[in-house]
């Protein structure tokens, strides 16, 4: 049960291997929402060395589905010094919980006729918040694949009452700036984009890099890709 050695690591520097991402998604099939309250009451177990890894994994996953700061802070506290084998898992849980907390906060603070609160560094527009995310492929993207990403983004964004602002293509990745409606979890939009792009031929990895604080630079994306290579 080795602890991660880089305690000062920025949370967005955590690399999520595709296998872990797939396992996290599959975990939803057996998840019982009644375990969320149990996880919040037992979040301190995450900090105990004697707590079995599998129990920590379940607690983290359940906290990831929480919608309050108690759940979010429980994950953040663990991420300050996580078990190495659960670092990526905890990051996915944190990412999911952060989105849930943001959505709940907006729902509570604003009614349908009020302007939304902009709570991200990238700001927003109307009832949409701006995010920047990147998806990548093992090989260089062909023009056909670029066209597929562009057309799928348009359809998926419309389905989620959201709006694509910009698409930039690198050699083997796409960087997208998108305005996501406050009622939509950004992860749902991104995962729909990846799934629809891969519907006929799989060319995009299931993982992605998303932030709501700045537009990702080419060097940041390339560093992220190298860590997956």
Tokens of 72: 């979010």
**What is the set of domains in the chain, with CATH numbers?**
15-109 (no CATH), 124-228 (3.30.70.1290)
The pLDDT tens digits for 180-209 are 988 888 889 999 999 999 999 999 999 888
- Cα separation, 13 vs 68, in Å, equals 24
- Cα separation, 217 vs 215, in Å, equals 6
| Position with higher pLDDT, 111 vs 159 | 159
Mean pLDDT throughout 7-16? 63
**Contact status, residue 161 vs residue 181, Cβ threshold 8 Å:** yes
Q: What is the pTM assigned to this prediction?
A: 0.52
- Cα separation, 23 vs 68, in Å, equals 24
Would the pLDDT of 174 be above 90?
A: yes
Would the pLDDT of 8 be above 50?
A: no
Mean pLDDT throughout 12-26? 76
Which residues are 132's β-sheet partners?
Answer: 177, 211
Q: Would you give the distance in Å from CA 24 to the centre of its chain?
A: 11
């Amino acid at each position: 049960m080795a602890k991660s050695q880089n305690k000062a690591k920025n949370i967005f520097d955590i690399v999520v291997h595709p296998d872990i991402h797939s396992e996290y998604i599959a975990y939803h099939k057996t998840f019982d929402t009644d375990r969320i309250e149990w996880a919040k009451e037992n979040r301190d177990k995450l900090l105990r060395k004697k707590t079995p890894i599998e129990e920590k994994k379940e607690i983290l996953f359940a906290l990831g589905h929480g919608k309050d700061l108690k759940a979010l802070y429980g994950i953040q506290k663990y991420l300050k010094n996580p078990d190495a084998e659960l670092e990526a898992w905890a990051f996915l849980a944190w990412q999911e919980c952060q989105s849930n907390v943001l959505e709940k906060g907006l729902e509570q603070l604003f009614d349908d006729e009020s302007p939304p609160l902009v709570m991200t560094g990238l700001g927003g527009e109307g009832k949409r918040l701006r995010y920047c995310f990147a998806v990548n492929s093992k090989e260089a993207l062909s023009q056909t694949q670029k066209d597929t990403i562009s057309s799928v983004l348009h359809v998926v964004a419309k389905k989620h009452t959201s709006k694509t602002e910009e698409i930039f293509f690198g050699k083997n990745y796409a960087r997208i700036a998108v305005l996501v409606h406050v009622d939509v979890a950004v992860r749902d939009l991104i995962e729909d984009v990846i799934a629809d792009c891969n519907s006929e031929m799989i060319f995009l990895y299931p993982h992605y890099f998303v932030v709501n604080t700045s537009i990702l630079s080419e060097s940041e994306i390339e560093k992220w890709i190298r860590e997956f290579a």
